[in-house]
Chain A
Amino acid sequence: MVKPTRVTNDIRRLRFAHNEMTQAELADRTGVTRQTIIAIEQGRYSPSLEMAFQIARVFGVTLDEVFQYPAQERETP
């Protein structure tokens, strides 16, 4: 069964904060297709660690400023 990823991201907000960067431009700068950027933004695809670093580097921020991995209830102490 297909499950949505738990990884969330702020790519959309960061794109707008960077001169309203388009999905196509971000895709070009990270070497992926625009459809992959759309899928990541919508939480339908978890990028590899390397792709995640490349996206963070485009925005000049750290990885956890782009991607978050919220803890589940039972994981919290």
Chain B
Amino acid sequence: MGSEERSAWIMLVVSLTAYAIYVAIVVGQAGKAPLEEAPYVAAMLWTTGAAIVGSILLNIIGSMVMREGAGKKDQRDREIYRFGESIGQSFLVIGGVAALLMSMAELPYFWIANAVYLAFFLSAALASVAKIVAYRRGLPAW
């Protein structure tokens, strides 16, 4: 496995873990009260920060353990990166539009923030899945 494919796996695992922990914390704190009354800001900031730090650390550890091709990137890697990011970015746009519409509808901040956070998660996770599939099966023929 090359370093870029390994990075995609790390991003997938980290984003899934961070979002699962965030959802567990918020749902746990809500208890029997309505979900939108649950405190979410600290959990959102901490899981975001932990995901960034965690992915950096895992990439460093990964390149120390699996030294082959560490930091080496070629044309195929760049094509796969662009392919994955184009899929991921579409979810950022969807999240942005959803947040805009929710703001216009004057929905609680909780739902707006969580729509954007979900879009961030989906963007990272699905971009990683697209990259992994491209590494394993090949890029789609346009």
Contacts and interface: CB of A to CB of B under 8 A. Distances in A.
Interface of A: 1-5, 31-36, 39, 43-45, 47-48, 51
Contact of B74 (A3, A4, A5, A36): A36
Interface of B: 1-2, 5, 68-69, 72-77, 133-135, 137-141
B50 to A, nearest CB: 30
Contacts of A31: 74
Contacts, number: 49
A44 B137 contact: yes
Contact of A5 (B69, B75, B141): B141
B141 A3 contact: yes
Contacts of A35: 1-2, 5, 69, 76, 135
B2 A33 contact: yes
Contacts of A3: 138, 140-141
Nearest to A42: B138
Max chain A C-beta neighbours (<10 A), residue from B68, B69, B73: B69
Contacts of B140: 1-3
Contact of A32 (B5, B75, B135, B138): B75
A2 B69 contact: no
A2 to B, nearest CB: 5
Contacts of A36: 74-77
